[in-house]
Structure 1
Amino acid sequence: MNPEDFRYHKEHTWVKVSGKKGTIGITDYAQDSLGDIVYIDLPEVDETVESNSEISEIESTKATSSVISPVSGKILKVNEELAESPEVINEDPYGKGWIAVIQLDNPSEVDDLMDASEYEKYVEEEEK
């Protein structure tokens, strides 16, 4: 189940907004599709990213996949624990498996993202 207070991008990333900051990660659907995650290339702190652009790469036993930022802004913090234990993303994609915290350049971008029910419908369509 996808958390109701998150917003979702069509590239299977999520953002949880708190004030002018957003925490970013990949969805449960994405981690399940990837399989066992063995490595993540974390973004750089202080890097400026655009929405719809790659912020990192995840390698799994099946494939390497880009992580696309759902919002624009400056990276404030990255989840260093993932460098040692990338499998945390498989275990807890909406909690301990977060990837980065970003200072939102344009908080209204969040309005363009899907809510939980829209995202679930999107995934169902994609699986057909």
Structure 2
Amino acid sequence: MLIRELAGEIRFIKHVENCERCLIELQLDVERYGGSRSIWYMDIRNEEFTRQDWRYKDIPYPGDYKIGSYWTGSSEDTIRFIKDRLKWAEKITRKEIVAAVKYLKLIMSWDIDWSPPFFSG
């Protein structure tokens, strides 16, 4: 199930990269709501907390972009930020898929019928 969900995220990322309409929707979300109405890696409201987490050390930081807003208008830099975040999220998601597959293989290789000697009767 987890692997299927992660694969769905990859499909979503690939779709958004090539869909101008979806990019514009994400742009509106980031500029108006701080990305809080879409997928988790677009949420820029808690960036300081995110930057402190070692797992997100390479995440594109919104402070490095000129993000537009409801009051100042849209910015092309917002689209660049979104595309950079999508690339970052794809790398993270692919790593999660690899880890999930390794974990599943490990679980599938367990001998469930085996019992340790100290439990033998």
TM over 0.5: no
Q: Which has the higher contact order (CA 8 A, sep 6+)?
A: 1
